[in-house]
Structure 1
């Protein structure tokens, strides 16, 4: 075919390259811009990230989904998976009655000077997810890292699995923080 129809062969090559590029852009290299301060100190306003929709979010992954408030794509940390119980007590996260450390919050906690916890006490039942006491199948419980200002599952409830657009895996801007997340 290459010798008999060189123009058609070239067009097919370009079409395949174009389709491969579309696949990468849609599922592997989807850009996301951080809006607001709810993920500080991990991410800041206008940080640029790449996400993939080819993997399911795991605990503590950063996921993107449309905000239940205005539909804009937002970035939050997945804390509760289907079947989990969650609570926050004295700034300590408990998942299925086990303590979990959140090292990504250490910088923020150390900077606090008012004697108040970074994260107010809550349970699933006392959050907007209530009266549920367990994260239902097909749902996730998400939190922003800047817990005092974050609008997250404590206030808008669970995030449906089908609403998760992708999982963040790389920051490409600002350049001084370039890298795998």
Structure 2
């Protein structure tokens, strides 16, 4: 009888220990996902060739956003999340002339932009200035100017204007699917 009682007490202690461990793990996962990082599934082809639809990525919610970082944010025009590349930071002037990006008057190469080898299509990005698109000469404080890497198929700041820093979920840090492309995106 005593052996049965000891076995029951030991079993209860073991079950209680497992419940505490699982609860602790769930709290840690919740805190990490809510405040530090979160997984995201890429939808659409606006970031090709960098990301394709259904790629799985990890987004850091604690990163300081810099120019050319890829970010995930709440779409201003739909109940979705978009992934785009930050081109203009607060205070920047942005212009596209003859398929060359100019930020604050300085030209930048964009090796990440999807180029079409079709000779008929000589330009990937139409010419624009911030003033033409938004009525502002510079990116206002608290906002970013973003573009997709696949400029011909991207809804981005050319369509919906600046995005608020408050709508940013985080910076893309790591791709974990598909497995053959696992690692840090460029």
Smaller-chain TM-score range?
A: 0.7 to 0.9
TM-score of the superposed pair, with normalisation by structure 1: 0.87
Q: Is the 8 A contact 2:66 2:86 kept in 1?
A: yes
> Which has a greater percent of helix?
2
What residue is the counterpart of 1:151 in the other structure? 155
User: Structure 1, residues 56-111: CA drift from partner, whole Å, max 9, x if none?
Assistant: 21111111111122120110001000000000001100000001111112xx3262
User: Structure 1, residues 94-143: CA drift from partner, whole Å, max 9, x if none?
Assistant: 000001111112xx32624324211110110111xx21010000000000
Q: Distance in 2 between matches of 1:34 and 1:120?
A: 25
Q: Is the 8 A contact 2:59 2:170 kept in 1?
A: yes
What is the SS of the residue equivalent to 1:126? helix
Unpaired runs of at least 5, structure 2: 1-12
What residue is the counterpart of 1:126 in the other structure? 132
Q: Does 1:113 align with 2:125?
A: no
- The count of aligned residue pairs is 173
User: Which protein shows a greater Rg?
Assistant: 2
Q: Which portions of structure 1, spanning 4 or more consecutive aligned residues, are displaced by more than 3 angstroms?
A: 5-17
Q: Distance in 2 between matches of 1:23 and 1:88?
A: 41
- 1:26, CA displacement in angstroms? 2.3
Q: Distance in 1 between matches of 2:184 and 2:53?
A: 18
Q: Distance in 1 between matches of 2:175 and 2:15?
A: 40
- 1:21, CA displacement in angstroms? 1.8
Unpaired runs of at least 5, structure 1: none
What residue is the counterpart of 2:141 in the other structure? 137
